[in-house]
Structure 1
Amino acid sequence: MNCPKEDITFEKILGLRPSDNNHPLLLHKNKNNNHTPITRECLEKCKSNAECRSFVIYFNGVQELENVVDTNTAWFVKFVLVKSCTKLWIFETIPGTTLVGNDTKILPKTLTRTECQQNCLQEKEFSCKSAKFRIKPSDYGPNDETTGICILSDSDRHILPNAYRASGYDDEYFENQCSETYREDQDEFCAYEEYSNVTLMHNDIYYENKTKDSCQQLCEETEIFNCRGYSLVANKKSFDCFIHSEDSKIHGPRLLIENPFGKYYEKAQCINISITCSETYMTVTYSPKMKFIGRMYMEGYSEQPECFVTGRGTETLALKLSVLSTQCGVIKAVAPENRTLMAGTMIVQYNPLVQTQGDRTIRIGCIYGNDSKVLIGTGITITSAPNQGSALINSTNTAATPVVEMRVLDFNSQSEVSSTQIGQELQLVIEIRPADGPLDIWAGHLVAMTENSDESILLLDDRGCPTNLNIFPALTKIVTNDTRKLVATFQAFKFSSSPIVRFSVIVQFCPEICPSITFSG
């Protein structure tokens, strides 16, 4: 190639390779370890060899002599572009695929592949992240360059995974490796999807003796190509770390190979999603940047109305999940020092009817636990159902906390009750142990609710003042050598829709003595 050396670069073509009838020559082969990546070595050898116009990496180590369509290879083609970055290859081409819609700019005349890609690199009106190339039908001669329609886009398959799909082989998808990674909002949720007992077949860089965190950091810091994920293979005390420029979404799960000692981590699309936690609910909020008409639901509960929400274009969605029951698959895990995790698995499904590989699976949860505030709950039923109480802790650090317990007792027998009748005299007791510890307590925001939190009533406000003395009085503090507790005597009541009444309250710790609360009424 008679051109400046700095303009020589490569195009990486995935899923397609030249026929072996072209009599290829061996460029490089690993002698001792077939699993060690050779991408960089081959690129350097081909770039320095004037006779090398392209090369193929066979990731499975086998040359297939018949099929040209081959997902176990990567075909690197040397060509000339006025480029804007120093990546080892500038465009990634995936024949037979397309990005549906998102046609930011349709170029007015037919172009060659190289001209289409050069237009993407030189686009000034927007950041061109990908291009679609539709081959123009023609009787091409042996020396004719293929031409077609070129459409530039400010999106790519990572930003819009649900828009990327298979097409005919007259469609080609070009992805600009020089465009900046899409991360408009630093508060967005960005994560890696984890795949257990598998690794990705196509490896580009290999590191020995790494931890999970250090391998992920190497992926994040890779500059010679865009790292899409990494694989870990456990050995005696550490991991073998493999860095990937591809992901499983290109050709589906066929690129994942079973490995009982392996895990594969793939970069997922960043989405504007957040979780807020209260004493009764875990609320997941999703603000889509583009039109969303799919569904957001808890795994296994897609048809239960309280467990899903439906997209309404770009409107913000909120999925409100009770943490005081096991509905929607929310489960509780209790750790030492009164720390409790309420968690479940949520699906963000972009199509309203079916799941696709571009959908997101997200593990969501709230951790409760603090030496300052404690959220505790208990419950009774007006029939003979068993007690279904729970203890949740809301925390900002991991310091050891005292033990706090809330119970409902029969006023006369002082025994704990799990069932009662309307009007029976009961006592709500909130007790801290040890009684002679350095902390005092007060409580507020006491809520009574039905089993599924469909109905609720605020009994004490945030200061601890009663909202209706006819239903529930103020708490009284009792301190002796053996106990330190808050007590309120009330008559049993119930909601019309459910026989079960649950209680939730926020308890505040104070050094030595909590200030007294005054209220009117």
Structure 2
Amino acid sequence: MLDSQPGTLMLTDCIQTCRQNTSCQSINYETGLCVLFSSNADAMPGALTTSQFPVFTLYVQKNCLRITVGANTVCNRAWSFERVQGYELETLAKRRRRVANRQACEELCLGEREFTCRSVNFNNVTGDCRLSDMDRHTMAGTGAFKPSSSSDYMENNCVDDPVKLCEFQKLEGRILKTVDSVFQDVSTIDDCRQLCLTAPYRCHSFDYADTGENVCRLSHHALATLTNIQEPYLEIAGAATYELSSCYNVTIDCRSGDMVAKIRTSKIFNGKIYAKGSPNSCVNDVTASLDFELRMAYNDIECNVRKDGQGRYSNDIILQHHDRIITSADLGLSVHCQYDLGNKSVSNQVDLEITGDIIPVLSEEAVVEGPNVVMRVTTKDGVDVPSAQVGDSLDLRFEIVDKNSPYEIFVRDLVALDGVDSNEILLIDDRGCPTDPSIMGVIDKSAESSKILLSAFDAFKFPSSDKVQFRALVSPCLPSCEPVKCDVADYTGDVRLLDSYGRKRRALSRERRDANSEEVLVVQTIEIVDRFNPPPAADLSDSVMELEKERNHYSFINDFKHGGNSSLTEVFIKEKLSGSSCINTLGLIIAGALFLAAQLVIIVAWTYIWQRKRRAKQQDNMTMVDVAVNNLHQLYNPSNAGYSRRL
């Protein structure tokens, strides 16, 4: 033993003292005590023993590793490796070599450039050195860290973990017996948390104000790294240790046609990353990975990237750990891309030599801005409708705002969604043709302007929502757009070729469509309600009066009303007032029986009256015949003196 320094509250101070002393080869450290030695465990292996309960001791050994990058050392942390004797991490090795000793295995890990080496397993018998891109923290909870009598597990402390978006898990009623750093006069728990994230080692836990007022204690240990230590925690009611759960570094790659969110995490991730509004269509399933990404094209309907202004785009993404549900462990992020759309001058030193006579011609140049296109849901008269009833005759109108724009437009990939991304239907395909003419007709030019395209449809809705959202891709063309020929079946079933102003292009799957910077995504939402809208219970009397008015509009119901069929009226009223289309089975049977009985009474009465009228008419006809015959007899009687005069 060289020296003993009680009152040392920082492991880093103890290590620095040994570094500055050429005779120091190793140290023992407990919170508040630093002991320096002139020998190490490699020279005296029998001298290294397991620390005794009730505290645990950290043993630190000086090593001189021969790995550098340029003029800088590879590791600028307080120590390079943490060694656990008699343990190994069971994981797939990224690289495997046979080396002479443990130090050579550590040098291989620090010198690795093809992947991030986070840990090594060294077999003291065979000299087998296995390099891995995982460690105890990234594989926490998997049970991969296990005893192995002939192996040493060494964890690289020089790797750069993500520290931007970090989550801490609270462990109630316990604090560590030995910690790496003790800070006093720390104002808040957030300041203590920040000290952990910026520590000169990989800090994985902290506690605050449990051992004294405004005292902050940090440690590189966590539950995943304490399996080989006997009773590392001190049980104290009301105390708490905050353990680092996971951290995320998020970077955004803003490209010409899309934005790519790249995520790097400190803990192995199993789950998915998706756009908030489109969890089923714009998603990347992730399995056992520390690095993953989500690509979101600007004109991709599925990813729903928002255009916040000129050259500014944004979207919300979700990191979800569970495959089906969102939990408190999940993370929501808002990502943005902004482009400088100012005029740029680009020059290239290329000599373009022109020989021969040059004939000057009159030329003119002009810069034409892309059209601003809006999509509206209107009546046949062009009036905007925020809401409608199922079956209303409407138009979907695509219109260039600037009437003097030289562009025309065409439309493709028109879809209708129910607002919750569970249901959607394709109305206009990628060629610009309607998929079902009974729902949405062809896209045609308006009679009032070639800058306006119309598609007629009857209002419809989804079962799960009253909101119907339309999304479409609109592309400009100069000077005019050529229509595409669509095979459309009419109401008779005959197929006709009709013009539709959609783009002629080879059909591709949605996942393989290339981004086109000229295309514009337009979105419009309308509220569609059912025809049957039951009134509230407070309006029962009004409902009865309304029903009576409705009954007077139909002659056959009016006949029943005069015929005294009150049971049928009662059934109708009950259905109207109940707010349900379902009628009680017994009531339905009774109503049907009364209806048939009323029909029978009416038929019998009508038959009886008709028969009486018929007999009376026959009697009258016979009387008239008798009179007519009698008159004829008198007319042709020769004894009638007036015959010749009448003739």
* TM-score normalized by the length of structure 1: 0.47
Which structure has the larger Rg over C-alpha atoms? Answer: 2
Q: Which has the higher contact order (CA 8 A, sep 6+)?
A: 1
Structure ranking higher in strand proportion: 1
Higher helix share: 2
Give the TM-score of the pair, scaled to structure 2. 0.40
